[in-house]
Amino acid sequence: MFVRAKTIKGKKYAYLVKNQWKKGKVKQHVKKYLGPIVEIPPKSEVFSPIQINFDEPSKECIRNIISNEFISRGFIRKQARLIFEDIVISFANNKVTKGESECVLFINDRYLSGFALDDLQNFFAPESTEDRPGKKLAQTFSDAGIPVSQEEFINLYKKIYLHN
């Protein structure tokens, strides 16, 4: 599944879409409306990143990687939430909201939604022998628009797959 953006009356909205083959043709089926798309501020040159301790549980490491991307854009972390003006990213319930409504954040030419946040926080995808090691993990971060440094990726990969 993937996120599809549609422009309706000049405003952008996000939908979770799945492709299915029917009679030799690909048909797209909207599985869920995700909300309006919100563009967030660009990265700031000056910010204090959270130091990631890979001795912590995987979920906390992933939260800190995500948090650093948004802290660099002016968000403030308060407990299990990231906040910027009326935009809230909640790690507790895997929701992204603007005001009272769910929304999707456009970041690094990708879309971060509650759906993507849930995929990241609850990531565990066993690698088959055909897969390149770490491909699913890297794709999950990439699809959500969250860049991961090589060092962070290697440490997280070891933690998830090698149980270090």
Q: Quick check: 148 and 141 in contact, CB under 8 A?
A: yes
Residues 6+ apart with CB under 8 A from 125: 136, 137, 140
Has residue 118 been placed in a domain? Answer: yes
Return the percent helix, strand and coil in the chain, to nearest 5.
25, 35, 40
Has residue 14 been placed in a domain? Answer: no
Has residue 2 been placed in a domain? Answer: no
Has residue 97 been placed in a domain? Answer: yes
pLDDT at 127: 58
Has residue 147 been placed in a domain? Answer: yes
pLDDT at 129: 56
pLDDT at 126: 62
Domain of residue 130: give its range. Answer: 45-161
Nearest to 105 by CA among 13, 44, 16, 40: 40
What average pLDDT values come out for the chain (164 residues) when binned by 10 residues?
Answer: 92 93 87 94 84 93 95 94 97 95 96 93 68 81 94 91 69
Domains of the chain: total: 1
CA-CA-CA-CA torsion sign (155, 148, 125, 38): positive
Overall pTM > 0.75 = yes
Residues 6+ apart with CB under 8 A from 38: 87, 98, 103, 104, 105, 106
Has residue 23 been placed in a domain? Answer: no
Give SS3 for 161: helix
